Structure 1
Amino acid sequence: MKKSLIALAVLGASSFAMAQSSVTLYGVADAGIGKIKTGAPAGNDASNSTQFLSGSLMNNGNSRLGVRGVEDLGGGLKAGFNFETGLDLDQGDALGSGGGFWGRAANLWLGGNWGTFKMGRSLNPTFYGIAAWELTGAANYSVVGNTYNFAGGGPRNNSQFSYKTPDMGGLSAEVGYVLKADNAGRAKWDLNVLYANGPIGLGFAANKTKDIKTNYVLGGKYNFSNFVLAASYTNAYNAANAQRRGFSLGGTANFGAMALTLDLTRDTKNDWTGKKYTNGLVEAKYALSKRTFVYGAYLRLDGNNNYGIGVRHNF
């Protein structure tokens, strides 16, 4: 009898704990076929031959598996975490997206009505400053992201401390900082200011690593009826302080389950390659459900032609 009472007490305590916190398993499966001349994150897919594509430049996104959790601490305060790993569906290898096994995300956060404080590896403020208006949803084949390497800073930061404000009528901001001891002796700051209200989406982002000049990007989009127009201007530097700057202009037309996108970038200065380029992306997507779509994309990037056709499923 005593054992039964103890078991019921433990079960009750566990139920109470579970009611205060939650853990979610989620992921993406994305694979297709295509040809890549240059720039694939997974080098085995950059062979300039038609082949199976996964975790590559011409996939809509990398396949991934993630877990995130949140606990209600009371008084409006919450704690949470996010761990995420990439998967190569070619042979089942892990894809770290520039990091280790949990290279896509490995962070802990505290949040409340005052905002969110996060620590660890994550997508950086500059990435979110671009995603606020970028037409493909920051796909692997984003012409803006690939032309200017997400305003020179890449999409993720290691060892980042960041603070994001609450949403204030569509206006928000985030600032991140990486200590010099965590970045080969070069401290880095990263920030964005976003505005999203009704048909308007605007984003300004900037980042700077010690001894490298400041990178920045300003972009916006406007939704009207079934069409979206977007434009941006980027000024970016690489690790050698070589400059690449230019603008983008594009649009998306939505026809029910079908969406067609054309996005172009034009360099006004390019010391990265020594030649100014006009790059372009054509993308077609068809939604099979709320979580699954097929896509086809053609990317002209710095004089090279790349294409891919695939299926993406979110779960």
Structure 2
Amino acid sequence: MFAKKNVVAAAALTLVAVAAQAQVTAYGNLDVSVGRKQAVTGYDTNGKAIKASRTAVDSSDLSDSFIGFKGQEDLGGGLKAIFKLESELAVDNGAALGGTSAFWSRNATVGLAGGFGTVNLGRFENLFKLEGAAFNPFGSSRTFSTTFGGTLDLTSGSLAPRESWSNGISYVSPSLGGLTLSAQYSAKEAALGNTALYGGGAVAVAANFVAGPLGLSAVVGELRSTNGVTAPAEKTRPWLLGASYDFGAVKLFGQYGQIKADDKVTGDSGKFKGFQLGASVPVSADGAVLVSYGDSKGTEPGVAGSEKNRDVSLGYTHNLSKRTNVYAAAINERRKDTTAAPVQKATITNFAVGVRHSF
């Protein structure tokens, strides 16, 4: 018995020692809400939207729900080995999220960090998502952010700005007097092109500048596909500008984005552009009011007419502690599509109250 206790104690001490040496951290965010949601299921012969409403418990309404592990090892001389594994999840039913069958759908990287900056290999959140979330009061909200809710959703074919990039290499520079430079590349691997399809792959570069209350960003890229398998019929060339300024009594946000899409077969081009203006207003030590307005217009390659979107979001968040937060938010979305005959129009409103806990 004494020997068994010694073995167990030794094993426990070994695990503690290994964890301390590797500096592994488990962390995450859980966001779950209940609300009333609307969706457009079709249009009648007059172009009027046919809508369906539901009362539902949902996940990731205001911020991404995920679980993660990260760690580092000191290699000496200012060099560190680093890793990050993050999996998005739906708290309401326990399912995996992220638009892919990959378990570590959000991030799965190993890299090196030092005085030269940080280099990572693997799968990572793309720069358009990161920059889009940083300059919107609703962040990367799947439901209430006017950047990701439709107006600045730089989407073409199967490409969406929220999607993490696989088979990738990323680089982030050290801060150079407040300026940080970033670059990402996703290899096309088996996604080979032909006369009807572009070869896969994607590249993006970004610059961020922070000086006290002022924040500025710019990101530009070319996207074909980001999974190493898909060879798309369209390639897109998006760019996105962002700015914020914290006055103390209010923090203002602004974004402007544009994307051009080219069709491989027809040679036709489409164009999408939009802007977002928002604010976060502290109303107490623990509470803040969030508001955002987004507006966009886009055309598809070879398609006459355009699609217009207008989104307005309003929310309130309240911190119960450093790790627990409650919120209420609503978004009104309007859409007009003149590419259809007759012209299609739709207006929907979504509302939810929820709780978030980070660990």
TM range (shorter): 0.7 to 0.9
Q: Which residue of 2 aligns with 1:53?
A: 58
Unmatched segments (≥5 aa) in structure 1: 1-6, 40-45
Q: Confirm or deny that 1:309 pairs with 2:342.
A: no
Q: Does residue 207 of structure 2 align to residue 207 of structure 1? A: no
Pick aligned residue for 1:101 from 103, 107, 124: 103
Aligned sequence identity (%): 29
Whole-angstrom distance in 1 between the partners of 2:10 and 2:262: 59
Instruction: Within 5 Å, give how 1:118-267 maps onto structure 2.
Output: 118-140=120-142, 141-148=144-151, 150-152=153-155, 153-155=160-162, 156-181=164-189, 183=191, 185-210=199-224, 212-237=235-260, 242-256=270-284, 257-267=286-296
Cα deviation 1:169-207 (Å, max 9, x = unaligned): 221011111122265632211121101221101111112
Shift of 1:242: 3.4
Any idea what the Cα deviations from partners look like across 1:261-310, whole Å, max 9, x if unmatched? 1111122x322693322211111101111111111111123432111110
Q: Is the 8 A contact 2:64 2:140 kept in 1?
A: no
Tell me, in whole angstroms, the C-alpha distance in 1 between the residues paired with 2:175 and 2:30: 31
Determine the structure 2 residue equivalent to 1:3: none
Q: For the structure 1 residues 108 and 134, does the alpha-carbon distance in structure 2 shift closer, same or farther, using more than 3 Å as the test?
A: same
| Partners of 2:190 and 2:152 in 1: CA distance | 21
* Alpha-carbon offset, residue 149 of structure 1: 5.5
Residue 90 (structure 1) shift = 2.5
Is the CA contact (8 Å cut-off) linking 1:132 and 1:202 kept in structure 2? no
Alpha-carbon distance in structure 1 between the residues aligned to 2:235 and 2:118: 28
Deviates more, 1:194-203 or 1:208-217: 208-217
- CA 1:16–1:54 in structure 2 vs 1: closer, same or farther (change >3 Å)? closer
Query: Any idea what SS the aligned residue of 1:131 has?
Result: helix
Residues 207, 214 of structure 1: 8 Å contact kept: yes
Q: Provide the aligned length of Structure 1 versus Structure 2.
A: 300
Give the ranges of 4+ consecutive aligned residues of structure 1 lying more than 3 Å apart after TM superposition. Answer: 7-20, 96-99, 148-153, 237-242
**CA-CA distance at 1:37 after TM superposition:** 2.4
* 1:28 alignment counterpart: 29
Equivalent-residue separation in structure 2 for 1:53 and 1:231 (angstroms)? 28
Q: Distance in 1 between matches of 2:19 and 2:292?
A: 46
Does the CA-based 8 Å contact 1:128-1:192 persist in structure 2? no
Please report how far the alpha carbon of residue 253 of structure 1 lies from its aligned counterpart in structure 2 after TM superposition.
0.7
Name whichever of 75-84 and 301-310 sits farther off.
Answer: 301-310
Shift of residue 126, structure 1, vs aligned partner: 2.0
Instruction: Supply the RMSD in Å over aligned alpha carbons.
Output: 2.8
Decide whether the 8 Å contact of 1:248 with 1:264 is kept in 2.
Answer: yes
User: Which secondary structure state, in structure 1, belongs to the residue aligned with residue 38 of structure 2?
Assistant: coil
1:130 partner SS:
helix
TM-score, normalization by structure 1: 0.85
- Match of 2:131, SS state, is helix
> By how many angstroms is 1:236 displaced?
2.3
Query: TM-score, with normalisation over the residues of structure 2?
Result: 0.75
1:19-98 to 2 correspondences below 5 Å = 19-38=20-39, 48-55=53-60, 59-98=61-100
User: Is the CA contact 2:127–2:206 (under 8 Å) kept in the aligned structure 1?
Assistant: yes
Q: Larger Cα Rg: Structure 1 or Structure 2?
A: 2
